[in-house]
Amino acid sequence: MKATTILTILFLTIALVSCGQTTKSKNSKTEFKALAKLVSSGEGSKIYIAKYKIIKDFSDTIFADTINVGYYFYKDNQEQLDTVLLTLTKYDGQTELKNYFICPNYDATIGIQKAKVDFIGFDYWENCETGKGECKPLNFIRTKKEKNWFLIMPCGGTETKVMVSSADKTFSQEQHLFHDKCPPFLALTDLKDGKYFAQMMACGLGGQVEFNLTTSK
């Protein structure tokens, strides 16, 4: 086979691969996930737009404190969901709205799902660290139908390291966050009932807290 023929085949192969990669890149959309609390319900005509305050951003893109979320009115959730897990894509069209995202395919039943969120406060954790206040083990309870269950923990300062483990040593997880990625969180949905310990190392907070997970009958 002549050198010119080989070069032609290589060129066509590279061109086809490049075109395929470009098409894939253009058609793909990055999804963002975040825990959020409803500020105002969806309003509009064809497209409903609701407003949410971000509790925890799971994506690499920093959300604003409050965002607008669009979806088709006929793909709305039938129940009013106060605390939710959002799955969103950035709106690419023209709009005067700031911080505007849409549910995938404008479907709120996919993009806006019910979530259960429990918290450990800064003051409580500090009590456990210093021994100068209330520090009884915390109890977090779920129902058997509960999905999307998360625990939000306090930031300890500019840099926070949190280590969570179960009392029976079957589970352990570590997070190392800088302030712009706070707060630390723990996905509780798939964890079994029992006793857990969370230890923190940070410039403004430290020590250990204890909590129990329970599923109600």
Dump pLDDT digits (tens) for 30-54: 899 999 999 999 888 899 999 999 9
- Residue 147 phi, psi dihedral angles, 5° rounding: -130, 165
Query: How much is the pLDDT for 28?
Result: 55
Q: Is the pTM of this model over 0.85?
A: no
Q: Are 69 and 102 in contact (CB under 8 A)?
A: yes
The domain segmentation of the chain, as residue ranges, is 31-114, 117-215
Report residues of the chain scoring pLDDT below 50. Answer: 1-27
CA distance 16 to 58: 35
Longest dimension (CA), the chain: 85
Domain covering 31-114 in this structure, CATH number = 2.40.50.120
Give CA separation, 84 vs 48, 173, 187, in Å: 17, 24, 14
What's the pLDDT tens digit per position in 118-133?
Answer: 999 999 999 999 999 9
Class of domain 117-215: mainly beta
